[in-house]
């Protein structure tokens, strides 16, 4: 007599799973949109690191156009703004142009000034 062993996805007998059918395992499917989202999420940190490394590698040196400018220092008075400073330095010139030169010469990131602050202004005015 010979013995035949058959495999079945269902458990037969008196175990813990007796009488309960085991659901077949489903495969995870990644759609095209899912692949795009996953790739984008993986690329964001790489791009952020590349931008940060690129920006920190830029030297903090003034441009060649401002390197040739002669300047003097002016002390900011209480209530004085860049606009009033530009108008007092060059009353016949557009104040926006003077403010742009002062901002680039001093490397200012905002237009707020503090009383007593030393600001470099071009000598041409």
| pLDDT tens-digit profile, the chain (125 residues) | 556 565 555 555 555 555 567 777 788 888 999 999 999 999 999 888 888 877 665 555 544 444 566 888 999 999 999 999 999 998 999 999 999 999 999 988 888 889 999 999 988 77
Q: CA 13, 16, 19: angle at the middle one, nearest 5?
A: 55
Distance, in Å, from the CA atom of 121 to the CA atom of 72, rounded to the nearest integer, reads 6
Bridge partners, 75 (sequence order): 118
Query: Does 74 map to a domain?
Result: no
Query: Does 97 map to a domain?
Result: yes
Query: Does 113 map to a domain?
Result: yes
Query: Does 37 map to a domain?
Result: no
Neighbouring residues of 54: CB distance < 8 A, sequence distance ≥ 6? none
pTM of the model: 0.45
Query: Does 42 map to a domain?
Result: no
What's residue 69's pLDDT? 66
Q: How far is CA 23 from CA 15, 26, 27, 56, in A?
A: 17, 9, 12, 55
Bridge partners, 73 (sequence order): 120
Query: Does 85 map to a domain?
Result: yes
What's residue 23's pLDDT? 75
| Domain containing residue 93 | 79-122
Q: How many domains does the chain divide into?
A: 1
Query: Does 55 map to a domain?
Result: no
What's residue 64's pLDDT? 47
Query: Does 47 map to a domain?
Result: no
What's residue 75's pLDDT? 92
């Amino acid at each position: 007599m010979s013995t035949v062993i058959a495999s079945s996805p269902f458990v037969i007998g008196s175990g813990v799973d007796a009488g309960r059918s085991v659901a077949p395992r489903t495969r995870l499917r990644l759609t095209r949109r899912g692949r795009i989202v996953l790739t984008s999420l993986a690329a964001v940190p790489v791009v952020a690191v590349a931008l940060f490394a690129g920006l920190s590698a830029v030297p903090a040196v003034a441009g060649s156009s401002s390197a040739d400018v002669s300047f003097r220092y002016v002390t900011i008075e209480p209530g004085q703004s860049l606009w009033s400073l530009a108008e007092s330095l060059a009353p016949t010139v557009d104040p926006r142009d003077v403010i742009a030169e002062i901002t680039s010469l001093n490397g200012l990131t905002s237009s707020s000034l503090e009383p007593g602050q030393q600001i470099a202004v071009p000598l041409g005015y």
